[in-house]
């Protein structure tokens, strides 16, 4: 006699809850999958899909170059004593000098 199994349809909320459990410190995917009665490979697939979905939802803000406004003399003196802000990300460097913007 053969058993017939029906595929379970997991809601997006359940998938997110299971994936969130696997992201907790010290969590083991196999243990979380076993507790939810799902194959650990399926949980890894959901994690990969959620990472890809999160990356697809990234929005970028356009950079608009404007001519720098004249800095009043006292502000210019203060700006020269402040350090610049430097952001390094994925090989790119954004350097913002004091007195830039408002």
For residue 10, the Cα-to-chain-centroid distance in whole angstroms is 24
Q: Where are the domains of the chain?
A: 12-56
Q: Half-sphere exposure of 98 toward its Cβ, with a 13 Å CA cutoff?
A: 11
Q: What is the dihedral of CA 33, 39, 41, 46, to 10 degrees?
A: -70
Q: Is residue 88 very low, low, confident or very high in pLDDT (cuts 50, 70, 90)?
A: confident
pLDDT tens figures, 53-86: 876 666 666 666 666 666 566 655 655 667 777 7
Distance of CA 8 to the CA centre of its chain: 29
CA–CA gap between residue 34 and residue 28 (Å, rounded): 10
pTM (predicted TM-score): 0.49
16 within 8 A of 6, measured Cβ to Cβ? no
pLDDT reading at 51 higher than 60: yes
């Amino acid at each position: 006699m053969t058993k017939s199994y029906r595929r379970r349809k997991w809601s997006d909320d359940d998938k997110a809850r299971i994936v969130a459990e696997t992201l907790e410190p010290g969590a083991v995917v196999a243990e979380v999958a076993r507790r939810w009665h799902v194959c650990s490979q399926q949980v890894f697939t959901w994690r990969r899909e959620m990472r890809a979905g999160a990356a697809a939802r990234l929005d970028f803000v356009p950079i608009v170059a404007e001519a720098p406004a004249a800095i009043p003399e006292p502000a210019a003196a203060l700006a020269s004593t402040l350090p610049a802000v430097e952001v390094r990300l994925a090989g790119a460097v954004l350097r913002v000098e004091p007195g830039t913007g408002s």
